[in-house]
A = this chain, B = another copy of it.
Amino acid sequence: MSGKPKRIGVLTGGGDCPGLNAVIRAVCKTAMFDYDLEVFGIEDGYLGLIQNRIKPLTSMDASGILTRGGTILGTSNKANPAQYAIGYDENGDPRFEDVTDRCLEHLRHHHIDALVLIGGDGTMSGAAPFIEAGINCIGCPKTIDNDLVGTDLTFGFLTAVETATEAIDRLHTTAMSHHRVIVVEVMGRNAGWIALHSGVASGSDVILIPEIPYDLGKVCEFVEERSRWGKRFSLICIAEGAKSVGGEQVVAKIDPTSPDPVRLGGIAEILADDIERVSNIETRAVILGHVIRGGTPISADRVLATQFGHHAIEVLMNGESNRLVVCQDMKITDIDIRKAANKQRMIPADHPLIRAARAVGTCFGD
């Protein structure tokens, strides 16, 4: 397939993230107003592509959605055309089928010759068979965790940090009044960007991230020393994927008398129990969970999402193929979509923000 597209499809895949609608809006408006393209919305990510739930979008669909959380297109987490779950075999194991051809037929039926894919790792790697089949796939990276290789910043991240920071601000006053330790768990299974940024922004006393395994003894010592200085409270901001030194990440404790592992709480609850036991200071755990993934994006994310969506169409109409829109050194640019997939950007140990945080007295548990 060659030449510039006349009709494009757009889909959102993976978890919720503030700014998805802002990207959709910019994709639609740029495509319609600037290039007179027809835009089709594919419902619920790749699932809609598989099930032929594809509908034309008008400029009215893209209007009034900039400030709204979620995605007007819907999303799905696991649908992958190359390996689509179609039931179970006689042993109860899931059976998969490659439904790429069916998807391609649906695209051909609607005369769609390019796709804008707004999603994470899974969505980008799912594009491979379509790229092979000649569909121009332009990606807009979506990860609230900000851990994608190739881009300094992804939309949604700053909103997640802001929501987490506001919550920690609230907990701060409670910790102070009660002379308590409060452990706040934020998202971040592999990379600790949200914990690092919201920890610094909220003035958390301890920040624990997957990249720096923590020593329980050092955390307790720090908390006790604060208490001795007259600071009878501490805020600990911990990423869900934080690990203690020498040990595996403890997401479950095995009950030796039971055949199945029993989940006894997340890392925040485990750490809170540990601190209370070791330091004998009243400690509480709070898990922010999905609250920081949803809702209206803050202004910085609306701006970034608008630029991402706009750039996706620019790239397309410049005749380029299979690019991923990224932000490097505060500039919007693009890289090969196949380069980004399945790699994660971890926080290096000497990251300037870690150094700044240490300098103002933050403990990283190491």
Contacts and interface: CB of A to CB of B under 8 A. Distances in A.
Interface of A: 12, 15-16, 20, 25-26, 29-30, 33-34, 44, 63, 66-71, 74-77, 152-153, 158, 161-167, 169-174, 176-179, 182, 197-198, 200-203, 231, 255, 257-259, 262-265, 284, 286-296, 298-300, 302-303, 306-307, 310-311, 313-314, 329-332, 352-353, 355-357, 359-361
Contacts of A203: 66-67, 302
B173 A16 contact: yes
B29 A302 contact: no
A173 to B, nearest CB: 3
Contact of A356 (B152, B296, B306, B356): B306
A133 to B, nearest CB: 28
Contacts of A262: 255, 262, 264
A170 B293 CA distance: 8
B177 A74 contact: yes
A294 B359 contact: no
Given A69-B172, A170-B294, 11 more contacts: A15-B178, A16-B177, A66-B202, A68-B173, A70-B173, A152-B330, A158-B299, A165-B299, A171-B294, A201-B300, A202-B302
A335 to B, nearest CB: 17
A344 to B, nearest CB: 19
Contacts of A265: 263, 265
Given A294-B173, A360-B26, A300 B300 contact: yes
A222 to B, nearest CB: 13
Given A26-B356, A177-B16, A306-B356, A291 B286 contact: yes
A9 to B, nearest CB: 18
A293 B286 CA distance: 12
A123 B34 CA distance: 44
A26 B362 CA distance: 11
Contact of A161 (B165, B171, B293, B299): B299
Contacts of A303: 197, 200-201, 353
Contacts of A310: 355-356, 359-360
Nearest to A313: B359
Contacts of A164: 299
A356 B258 CA distance: 48
A29 B299 contact: no
7 contacts: A63-B231, A66-B202, A67-B169, A74-B177, A171-B294, A287-B289, A303-B353
Contact of A177 (B20, B299, B359): B20
A162 B166 CA distance: 13
A337 to B, nearest CB: 21
Contacts of A298: 162, 165, 298
A263 to B, nearest CB: 7
A359 B33 contact: yes
Contacts of A360: 25-26, 29-30, 33, 306, 310
Contacts of A292: 170
Contacts of A170: 69, 163, 291-296
Nearest to A12: B177
A85 to B, nearest CB: 14
Contact of A306 (B163, B200, B289): B200
Contacts of A178: 15-16, 74-77
Nearest to A75: B177
